[in-house]
């Protein structure tokens, strides 16, 4: 199945000059979504993680069904102030300014193997920050996967973990 047929390009979103790759049609097509989950499950399984971590918010849509399918736990990596209870923050630099992501303080245990998931790899900044955050909690980040990679942004060059993607866009 050609998954690219189920990705919609939306020009000038969220700002002029940006082409947004929308996975909504993929999620709405049962067979395409099942094929996506199955392909990602093969990738994740090779890394033998204890738990899967999804990056807010579309990463939740990817990681949660995979965790269920693979009988693994699921951890949310969220923007600051979105998780209840004690949290562990990680602040990272953006092109202009900074951002902070968090996990709940008890989300992972030291030595636990964690695999990261998101819908799209662009510059790699958030994925790298999530890996650093999980490591700061004592986890071993074994790899990452995304549905889409914007190869022209060279995000994988900013990662120190193995990354797999299902679809690549060159522009």
Q: Which residues pair with residue 149 across a beta bridge? A: 121, 168
8, 48, 58, 135: which one is catalytic? Answer: 58
**Contact indicator for 7, 167 with CB cutoff of 8 Å:** yes
d(CA 43, CA 155): 19
Q: Where are the beta strands (DSSP E) in 85-126?
A: 87-93, 98-104, 113-121
DSSP letter at 14 equals S
**Contact indicator for 108, 81 with CB cutoff of 8 Å:** no
**Contact indicator for 40, 11 with CB cutoff of 8 Å:** no
SS3 (DSSP) at 164: strand
Has 56 been annotated as catalytic?
Answer: no
5, 39, 95, 102: which one is catalytic? Answer: 95
Has 58 been annotated as catalytic?
Answer: yes
Residue 17, sorted as left (phi over 0), alpha (psi -120 to 50) or beta, turns out to be: left
What would the two tokens of residue 52 be?
């899967």
Catalytic residue numbers, as ranges: 58, 95
């Amino acid at each position: 199945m050609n998954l690219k047929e189920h990705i919609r390009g939306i020009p000038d979103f969220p700002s002029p000059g940006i082409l947004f790759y929308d996975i909504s049609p993929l999620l709405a097509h049962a067979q395409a979504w099942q094929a996506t989950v199955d392909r990602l499950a093969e990738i994740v399984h090779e890394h033998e993680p204890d738990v899967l971590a999804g990056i807010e918010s579309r990463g939740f849509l990817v990681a949660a069904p995979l965790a269920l399918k693979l009988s693994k736990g699921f951890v949310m990596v969220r923007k600051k102030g979105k998780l209840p209870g004690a949290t562990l923050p990680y602040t990272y630099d953006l092109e202009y300014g900074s951002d902070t992501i968090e996990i709940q303080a008890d989300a992972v245990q030291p030595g636990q193997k964690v695999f990261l998931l998101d819908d799209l790899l662009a510059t790699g900044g958030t994925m790298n920050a999530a890996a650093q955050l999980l490591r700061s909690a004592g986890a071993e980040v074994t790899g990452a996967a995304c549905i889409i990679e914007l190869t022209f942004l060279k995000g994988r060059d900013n990662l120190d973990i193995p990354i797999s993607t299902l679809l690549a866009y060159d522009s």
